[in-house]
Amino acid sequence: MRHAGIAETGIGIFILLLLAGVAGGIYIAQSRFDPEIFNIAVKTDTAARKNSLPSPSSAPVPAFLPEDLIPLGPEETFDSETLSDRIDGKAELYTSSGFVKLSTMRFALKTDPKSWMELFIYEMGNPTNAFSVYSVQKRQGSKPLSLGVSAYATEDALFFADGPKYFEIISSSKDLAEQMTALAKNLVDAEPKYAGSKNESSLFPAESLDESSISLHLSDVFGFSGLDRVYTAGYYTGDSRVTAFISQRENPEEAADLATAYGRFLLDNGGSDIGEVPNAPDSKIYKVFDTYEVVIHRGNYFAGAHEADDVESAVEVASRLYSKLGEAEQ
């Protein structure tokens, strides 16, 4: 067995002494630490970041901005490649629905720059796409807003669709409702006026209809990959709530084929055929576990009731819908 020489032993002792000296220096430095030095550094860094924020008066003032608001910086824009950088986790909803561009800006009260709001303008290519992204993510506890377009408000935000654009205004405080509404009205006034073309949403029977629930789903509706471009709406029948749906297809043959394919999808996923709706030829009623589906088609329309709690409510809503579609054929 080889024994360490004198030279090697000396080097080892020197290294141990060196490490002990470093440890001692660290201990002394920590014992003399002045927290104020750290506080000064933090304050300096915070001040530098505040000073780097855009000056409220440095950005151009948009023509649509109410007089009591000022810009907090220039407009930022995002395309389909960079959208996820701005709205991580939600980009797929927009990019799968015809998204073109997002523009954002921040504004604040002249009298209180700490009270601010942010405007999001999504360019969606056409009014159908814009209404779809507006409708399918409607917030809970919202209230309809009278702007002359599809619009609603929550405690601290406002949302609306106008032509091919979808708008969101998100504020830092619920006390900014008046300013958000004024900004929204100016934006609507600034947009070109689009002739309102009728779509499937006008075919929902008015009785018991929850108008605020009307939504447009563009793909994979009800989990069925073959089902797209479907309008849905909620109905109250007694204590039950039923979702009605309508989709206009290219021709009666496509509507009938889609009704058959969707029925087969329900059967393949645990459903059973339990009959048909009176006075609605070729209709089908399905029980899927504890809920009921009604599938109908009339002319170019595929329609029905979805996930009703009881069969009576499903049939009632589907019957009214079938009659309304008959009026559309005249």
Note whether 139 and 225 are same-domain residues: no
Specify whether 249 is located in the same domain as 157: no
**Cα–Cα distances in angstroms (integers) from residue 274 to residues 39, 222, 230, 285, 319, in the given order:** 74, 20, 24, 6, 16
pTM of the model: 0.76
Do both 73 and 125 map to the same domain? yes
Task: Specify whether the CB–CB gap between 277 and 296 falls below 8 A.
Answer: yes
pLDDT band with cut points at 50, 70 and 90 for residue 88? confident
Residues above pLDDT 70, as percent of the chain: 81
pLDDT band for 53, please (50, 70, 90 cuts).
very low
Average pLDDT over residues 216-245: 94
Whether 15 is in a domain gets the answer no
Asked whether residue 55 is assigned to any structural domain, the reply reads: no
Q: Is the residue at 44 inside a domain?
A: no
Contact yes or no for 265/224 (Cβ under 8 A):
yes
Residues 6+ apart with CB under 8 A from 251: 300
Lowest average pLDDT, out of 36-50, 136-150, 165-179, 210-224, goes to 36-50
Say yes or no: 89 and 209 in one domain.
no
- Assess if residue 264 is contained within a domain: yes
Predicted confidence (pLDDT) per residue in 128-168, tens digit: 999 999 999 988 889 999 999 999 999 999 999 999 999 99
Assess whether 251 and 177 both reside in one domain.
no
Residue 96, classed as helix, strand or coil, is coil
Is 263 in a helix, a strand, or coil?
Answer: helix
Same domain, 107 and 223: no
| Domain final residue pick, 190, 218, 252 | 190
Give the C-alpha distances (Å, rounded to integers) separating 275 from 220, 278, 307, 311.
26, 9, 16, 11
Total domains in the fold of the chain: 2
The tens digit of pLDDT for each residue in 263-289 reads 999 999 999 999 999 999 999 999 999
179 and 224 co-located in one domain: no
Kindly write down the DSSP assignment for every residue of 131-181, as one continuous string: HHHHHHTPPTT-EE--SSSEEEE-SSEEEEEETTEEEEEEES-GGGHHHHH
CA proximity to 186, closest of 66, 68, 103: 66
Domain final residue, candidates 138, 165, 190 = 190
Domain identity same for 227 and 152: no
- Locate 14 and state its tokens: 């020197």
Which is nearest to 130 in space by CA: 144, 150, 108, 158? 150
* Domain match, 223 and 241 both: yes
Nearest-angstrom CA–CA distance, 82 and 79: 5
Residue 311 domain flag: yes
151 lies in which domain range? 69-190
Determine the Cα angle at 126 with ends 165 and 201, to 5°.
Answer: 95
Domain's final residue, options 190, 215, 235: 190
Q: Is 129 helix (H, G, I), strand (E, B) or coil?
A: helix
Q: Is the pLDDT higher at 74 or at 5?
A: 74
Query: Is the pLDDT assigned to residue 2 strictly greater than 70?
Result: no
203 confidence band (pLDDT: 50, 70, 90): very high
Tell me, yes or no, whether 282 and 212 share the same domain.
yes
